[in-house]
Amino acid sequence: MIINGVEIRDSFAEAFPMVGARLVITADTPEWALTAARVTTGFATSVIGCGCEAGIEREIPPSETPDGRPGIAILIFAMDFGSLKKVVPLRLGQCILTCPTTACYSGMDTGKRVPLAKTIRYFADGHQISKKIGDKRFWRMPVMEGEFVCDEDTGSVEGVGGGNFLILARSRPQALAAAEAAVKAMGTVGGNILPFPGGIVRSGSKVGSKYKGLFASTNDAYCPTLRGAVASALPPEVGSVMEIVIDGVSFNSVADATRIGIKAVCQIGAAGGIVAVDAGNYGGNLGPFHFKLREIMAREQVA
């Protein structure tokens, strides 16, 4: 398949199950809501080293937030529910409770319950007060700046982690420009996060290593400087590769984000130095979710 001079390789992205929760952070200003969201989702690029994967899903206007203030929705994913129950309150307590003017609300009503204030309310040392509105319980915790308001818990979802695609370009500036365009376009698709810095990975990995104890190592088949030294997946004209990794609340949300992202890359096209789009997989042994690039983009062309 060729789109605007870009080869869509006959490959698939291999993804795996994750569980996730959405938090809605509000603050007096958009800047403080964004600060809390960025800190809370920091050091959360990969479960391999961070214990979770997290990112900003979208900005929320005051008209849509529980307290009428500017908001940010974030998603946090872990490999199992037990891990999610640990990591969410930890990040809430360290990064949202501590941030000026913030409040934190549940962003999911269904699924297994993940504790929010249910866990961190004890920081108020007995001065915490709860109020039940409808079927939801909120906690008010006195802090030096004023008061922190937080839902008791939030729902969760069985989602998908590790969706991805690779951008093969003639040069690093061209690969980065295409990746940036993809990230911007994918930001319009709800239910997903791109957990790596700026949504882009320059150091994609393969499973395993020559060194005992390492679970992952550099994806040498896609490293241009190793062409000739390893079994390369890159044609001679490719000088740089960037990866986009996607975690989402469902298979369809990840597929939609993949389609929108690749479409943005192809709009830059061969004239912009893009040679091909590929995907990371491990022969179907890593996870049960397979995102076949040509099938996804065929739906785009039909639409």
* 137-152 pLDDT per residue, tens: 999 999 999 999 999 9
pLDDT at position 281 is: 87
Q: Point out the residues of the chain with pLDDT beneath 50.
A: none
pLDDT at position 287 is: 86
Pair 254, 242: CB distance under 8 Å: no
> Rounded to an integer, what distance in angstroms lies between the CA atom of residue 156 and that of residue 199?
23
Q: Is the pTM of this model over 0.85?
A: yes
113 φ, ψ (degrees, to nearest 5): -85, 130
- The closest alpha carbon to 4, from 238, 269, 264, belongs to 269
User: Strands 6-8 and 274-278, how do they pair?
Assistant: parallel
> Rounded to an integer, what distance in angstroms lies between the CA atom of residue 118 and that of residue 120?
6
HEC string for the chain? CEECCEEECCCEEEEEEEEEEEEEEECCCHHHHHHHHHHHCCCCCCHHHHCCEEEEEEEECHHHCCCCCCEEEEEEEECCHHHHHHHHHHHHHHHHCCCCCCEEEECCCCCCCEECHHHHHHHHCCCCEEEEECCEEEEEEEECCEEEEEECEECCEEEEEEEEEEEEECCHHHHHHHHHHHHHHHCCCCCEECCCHHHCECCCEEECCCCCCCCEEECHHHCHHHECCECCCCCCCCCEEEEEEEEECCHHHHHHHHHHHHHHHHHHCHHHCEEEEECCCCCCCCCCEEEEHHHHHHHHHHC
pLDDT at position 167 is: 98
**Residue 217 burial by Cβ neighbours in a 10 Å radius (0-12, 13-18, 19+):** middle
Kindly report the number of other CB atoms within 10 A of residue 286's CB atom. 14
Q: Which tokens belong to 192?
A: 């997903």
> Rounded to an integer, what distance in angstroms lies between the CA atom of residue 120 and that of residue 150?
10
Q: Which tokens belong to 263?
A: 């479409």
**Residue 144 burial by Cβ neighbours in a 10 Å radius (0-12, 13-18, 19+):** exposed
pLDDT at position 301 is: 60
| 192-201 confidence digits (pLDDT tens) | 999 999 999 9
The residues, ordered by sequence, that sit 6+ positions from 212 with a Cβ below 8 Å of its Cβ are: none
Strand partners, 230: 227
The residues, ordered by sequence, that sit 6+ positions from 253 with a Cβ below 8 Å of its Cβ are: 160, 189, 190, 191, 192
| 250-296 confidence digits (pLDDT tens) | 999 999 999 999 999 999 999 999 999 999 988 777 789 999 999 99
